[in-house]
Amino acid sequence: MAFGRRRRQDDKPAEEPERTVDERAEAADAETETEAPAQATPSKGGPWDSEDSYPEMQRLDFGSLLVPVAPGLGFQVNFEATQVDEQGNPLDARPVAVLVQHGQSAMQLQAFAAPKRSGIWDDVRRETAKDIQEQAGGQVQEGEGPFGPEMVAMVPAPLTEEILAEMPQEVREQIPQEFIDQGWAPQLIRFIGVDGPRWFLQAVVQGAAVQDEEQWQVLEDVLRNVVVIRGEHPMPPRELLELRVPKEFHEADAQEQQQEEEKKETFNPFERGPEITEVR
C-alpha cells in the first residue's frame, strides 16, 4: 500500500500525575459543552457521532456501534472471558469487538471512551507500534489514509499444520514454500483510528483489503458509515464502550434451530431444503 507524506507529530502535553479510575473518568467529562471536540470526523462523511445528522441506511445495532449492512458482508462478535474455572475454561464472557468480513478480508471495530478536548489516536498509534516492534518482532510504517494518520504493520504469522489445513486451497497455493518450510509468513495489518467527540474508534484490517483496493473500498464504505453511540455517563479514557449482540443474530439462531427441528420431524430425502441468508 502506498502512503502519502508522513505526518509530523504534534507536541504532546506534559504527563499528568497518576489518578484513580473515578478521578480519570470525572476529568475526562469535566470540560464544558462550549469546548470544541478533540477532532472533527472526516469531512467526506463519517464515522458519525450519534448526535450527528448521519445518512439513513440499514445498520446492525451492536450497542455502542451501529454498523451498516450491505450485500457480501458477514458479521461476527468477538468475546473476551470474564470468568474462568480452575482449568481455565471460560464461564462467562463479554463482547469486545465487531468483526466485519468481506471476501478474503476482515475488519475489526472497537470504540473507546476518550477525553473531550484531546484525541488519543496519536498515543495509541505510537504505543501499538512500540509493542509490534518490541514484542512481536514486526515492522511498522505510518502514513496518511482516507481517515487521517494510520499505520501498516508487518508481523510474523505462524503457519502450523492446523492453520494450513483450515486454509482454502487457493490461498495455500499462494504461500511460498519457503514460508511453509520455516513455519511462518509475514502478515500485513492495517491500523486506522478516528478521534470523535468523547470517543475513539479503531479499525484493524487484515487480509486482501490491506493491499487490494477493490476489497478495501467495500470496508472503507462500512467504516465511513459507522455510527458511534458514546452515551452521557462518565468513563475513564480508553475504556471499551459497551457492545451487545444484535437481535438479528438471536433471530437467525432461533430460525436455524427451528428448521433443524422441523427437518428431524418431517425429513424427506427428495425434498429441497429451505434457502436462507443469515447475518453472523
What is the tens place of the pLDDT at every residue in 110-123? 999 999 888 999 99
Looking at the fold, whether 75 and 195 belong to one and the same domain comes out as yes
Looking at the fold, whether 230 and 211 belong to one and the same domain comes out as yes
Give me the torsion for CA of 203, 205, 211, 213, rounded to 10°.
-60
d(CA 90, CA 233): 29
Cα 108 to Cα 40, 136, 192, 232: the distances in Å are 22, 19, 10, 25
**Residue 15 covered by a domain:** no
Looking at the fold, whether 217 and 93 belong to one and the same domain comes out as yes
DSSP 60: E
Please say if the pLDDT value at position 268 is more than 90: no
Q: How confident is the model over 45-66, as a mean pLDDT? A: 95
**SS3 annotation, 5-25:** CCCCCCCCCCCCCCCCHHHHH
- Average pLDDT over the chain, rounded to an integer: 79
Cα 78 to Cα 15, 81, 113, 187, 242: the distances in Å are 33, 10, 19, 21, 13
Tens of pLDDT, residue by residue over 166-190, are 777 777 777 888 888 888 888 999 9
**Residue 253 covered by a domain:** yes
Looking at the fold, whether 39 and 92 belong to one and the same domain comes out as yes
- Name the residue with cell 478474503: 104
**Residue 13 covered by a domain:** no
Between 95 and 263, whose confidence is greater?
Answer: 95
**Residue 220 covered by a domain:** yes
Looking at the fold, whether 141 and 224 belong to one and the same domain comes out as yes
Are β-strands 199-207 and 59-61 bridged in parallel, bridged antiparallel, or unpaired?
A: unpaired
44 phi-psi bin (left φ>0, alpha ψ -120 to 50, beta other): alpha
Per-residue confidence (pLDDT) for residue 252, from 0 to 100:
56
d(CA 66, CA 100): 12
- Name the residue with cell 512481536: 136
Looking at the fold, whether 44 and 136 belong to one and the same domain comes out as yes
Contacts with 10 (C-beta within 8 Å, 6 or more apart), sequence order: 122
Q: For the whole model, what pTM was predicted?
A: 0.74
Give the domain range for residue 198: 21-245
**Residue 14 covered by a domain:** no
Looking at the fold, whether 124 and 235 belong to one and the same domain comes out as yes
Tens of pLDDT, residue by residue over 192-218, are 999 999 999 999 999 999 999 999 999
Looking at the fold, whether 177 and 265 belong to one and the same domain comes out as no
**Residue 178 covered by a domain:** yes
Per-residue confidence (pLDDT) for residue 220, from 0 to 100:
97
Looking at the fold, whether 195 and 79 belong to one and the same domain comes out as yes
Looking at the fold, whether 62 and 174 belong to one and the same domain comes out as yes
Q: How confident is the model over 65-76, as a mean pLDDT? A: 96
